[in-house]
Structure 1
Amino acid sequence: MSTRLAKRPLGRTGLEVTPVCVGGGPLGSMPRNFGYDVPAEQGVRTVLRAFEGPFTFLDTSNNYSGGESERRIGEAIRRNGGLPDGFVLSTKVDRAADGTFDGDQVRRSISESLDRLGLDRVPLLFLHDPEHIPFEDGVAPGGPVEALVRLRGEGVAEHLGVAGGPVGLLRRYLDTGAFEVLLTHNRWTLIDRSADDLIGYAHGRGIGVVNGAPFGGGILAKGAAAQPKYAYRSADEKILALVRHIETACAEHGVPLAAAALQFSMRDPRVSSTVVGISRPERVAETAEYATWDIPEQLWETLDNAAAPSSLWQW
């Protein structure tokens, strides 16, 4: 394995993960978010290819495609005869279809996930998108945080993380002391640096940092013309202009845009792993190539100063 893909410690959890994590979002087919369908067998074959390496970390969620991501991962686990040795699989507890997100729903969510995956426990379990409920409900007696802590005590999950968007809210959840891992998304990219202080805060306290969506939903992999959206929403013209500027700079140095976007996250020593959604078997090797592409320092001097104005960040 390339030294660039050597495993890194995930905070103080004791887990070691590769600097790239296979994202399970598109595995179950999410055409509204990603713009394309993923047939079931293709999803299963993609997971089986991921099990071959070089990545040893895969992340999914209870609500990705109504559980279809987990079903396909579970089928791949069954065909493979179990998870490969040293492979870390994480999933997330989610709110119910009616918006309920209390302690009972947390238990229902992980029970459904384990059934789909064919497992009796997971090494890492995230509280997913807590921005959909008031913080006070999240930490209330009998609420989701309390239920997660109990699940960890029962051995259903080895370690707990919080995964979501708004950086201020995630900071409040980290301050509860319940979480060992942070997963932020769309907020630490070539374009958006919203999560900088949050990542520093987590890292300084020994909390593992996982950074999701380094491509911002596709624009930082496909380019502004092919994908004029950032974080699944129409991008501001200033963002599109900056992406075009980044594309030009990468082309001048013979570097794929996706390689620069991925390595922007990977080269940050505070980030243990970067989540990349993968939906085709061949994308595993392609992503590994992007992760190890030689990028000259002159290009980084341009890219490190290429972010959009903070008024356009996700925060």
Structure 2
Amino acid sequence: MTELGRTGLRVSEICVGTSPLADMPFLYGYAVSEDRAVATVDAVLQNPVITFIDTSNGYGADGAAERRIGAALQARGGLPPGTVLATKVDPDPRTGDFSGARVRQSLAESMERLGLDHIDLLHLHDPERITFAEATAPGGAVEALADLQREGLVSHLGVAGGPVALMRQYLDTGVFEVVLTHNRYTLLDRSAEELFRTAHAQGIGVLNAAPYGGGMLAKGPERQTRYAYGERDARIARAARAMAAASERAGIPLAAAALQFSLRAPFIDSTVVGVSSPQRVTETLALAEIPIPGDLWAELESHLPSPGLWLDPPA
């Protein structure tokens, strides 16, 4: 367990991401039935090691991930004490509206699906979908989030998105207590390191999502040809293959090194790992416990791609 910045929330070092449970084969390449999703959430709730779950209003058609989580919570009589559930506000899926009014509606939808009347941590999700000026204008998304916190519906606010420079802009508003970004602190990419170090030093909670680079560092570069949910550069593929070969020589699963790379960073409070079955929950915890020799870390570092290939190259 670790403190999430200065929020006062105590969370597990592994946070279960629920995007895969929303049944989005166009993104992940496989389907997830409702029964399997509910069983996966139940496996998480029964596991004493994991006390942190991440979801979003926009995961799946009509909030599928939240509905499935809500079904699991209802079957267990509610959110277990000590478990932190974070969700995110999203634009209207039909109109794209991401106004302050939409933020309120998004939260209301999430609470109804989850069966909760209070949210511990609420993120502004992928704010790159509107301009920073729109989000921070009077009556905009940021003001609405602050109002929801003052009204007691939400305890803590975070910003969750991709572009590092934009995440930094939102943190500079002073409204957000937690930052989450994805695919930008992995064996293959260090785009978010400075952001994470600075946020941690300021007492802001740091969540690192997608340590497998969208799956390539878990399934292996031969099986998973996409990187960070998009097409990969051939040079990224070569680096991943070199890392996979080094891990194989050391007798270590590449997925274990990818996960532990994030877990061992002193400036990351929790690592968000998407799971799609009860078995994956067990496997993830096992990967976190595999001893990794120091010389493998050094060899993996030698294969780090040029910063120019990172998702957010340094200026």
Q: 1:84 aligns with which of 80, 84, 87?
A: 80
Q: Distance in 2 between matches of 1:131 and 1:43?
A: 29
Matched, 1:238 2:238: no
Q: Is residue 193–residue 307 contact of structure 1 (8 Å, CA) maintained in 2? A: no
Q: In the alignment, what sits opposite 2:90?
A: 94
Q: Is residue 249–residue 299 contact of structure 1 (8 Å, CA) maintained in 2? A: yes
Could you tell me which amino acid in structure 2 is paired with residue 82 of structure 1? G
Q: Secondary structure at the match of 1:227?
A: coil
Instruction: Flag structure 1 segments of 5+ consecutive residues without an equivalent.
Output: 1-6
Q: In the alignment, what sits opposite 2:251?
A: 254
Deviation at 1:308, TM superposition (A): 1.5
Q: Is residue 17–residue 88 contact of structure 1 (8 Å, CA) maintained in 2? A: yes
Q: Is residue 253–residue 299 contact of structure 1 (8 Å, CA) maintained in 2? A: yes
Deviation at 1:307, TM superposition (A): 2.1
Q: 1:33 aligns with which of 22, 27, 30?
A: 27
TM-score by length of structure 2 reads 0.97
Q: Distance in 1 between matches of 2:103 and 2:181?
A: 20
Q: Distance in 2 between matches of 1:114 and 1:62?
A: 9
Q: Distance in 2 between matches of 1:235 and 1:272?
A: 28
Matched, 1:314 2:308: no
Q: Distance in 2 between matches of 1:263 and 1:277?
A: 15
Q: Secondary structure at the match of 1:210?
A: strand
Q: 1:119 aligns with which of 108, 116, 119?
A: 116
Matched, 1:174 2:178: no
Q: 2:9 aligns with which of 1, 4, 15?
A: 15
Render the CA deviation track for 1:132-166: whole Å, top value 9, x for unaligned. 11100111100000000010111111000000000
Could you tell me which amino acid in structure 1 is paired with residue 224 of structure 2? Q
Q: In the alignment, what sits opposite 1:263?
A: 260
Matched, 1:65 2:60: yes
Instruction: Flag structure 2 segments of 5+ consecutive residues without an equivalent.
Output: none
Q: Distance in 2 between matches of 1:147 and 1:305?
A: 46
| Identity rate, percent | 53
TM-score by length of structure 1 reads 0.97
Q: Distance in 2 between matches of 1:18 and 1:160?
A: 18
Q: Distance in 2 between matches of 1:81 and 1:141?
A: 39
Q: Secondary structure at the match of 1:86?
A: coil
Q: In the alignment, what sits opposite 1:132?
A: 129
Q: In the alignment, what sits opposite 1:272?
A: 269
Q: Is residue 8–residue 17 contact of structure 1 (8 Å, CA) maintained in 2? A: yes
Q: Distance in 1 between matches of 2:135 and 2:302?
A: 37
Q: Secondary structure at the match of 1:300?
A: helix
Deviation at 1:228, TM superposition (A): 0.9
Deviation at 1:309, TM superposition (A): 1.3
Q: Is residue 61–residue 94 contact of structure 1 (8 Å, CA) maintained in 2? A: yes
Could you tell me which amino acid in structure 1 is paired with residue 59 of structure 2? Y
Could you tell me which amino acid in structure 2 is paired with residue 40 of structure 1? E
Deviation at 1:306, TM superposition (A): 2.8
Q: Quote the RMSD (CA, aligned, Å).
A: 0.7
Matched, 1:200 2:207: no
Q: Secondary structure at the match of 2:96?
A: coil
Q: What aligned pairs does 1:182-221 form with structure 2 within 5 A after superposition?
A: 182-221=179-218
Could you tell me which amino acid in structure 1 is paired with residue 76 of structure 2? N
Matched, 1:141 2:131: no
Could you tell me which amino acid in structure 2 is paired with residue 36 of structure 1? Y
Q: Secondary structure at the match of 1:92?
A: strand
Q: Distance in 1 between matches of 2:156 and 2:181?
A: 17
Q: 1:56 aligns with which of 46, 51, 56?
A: 51
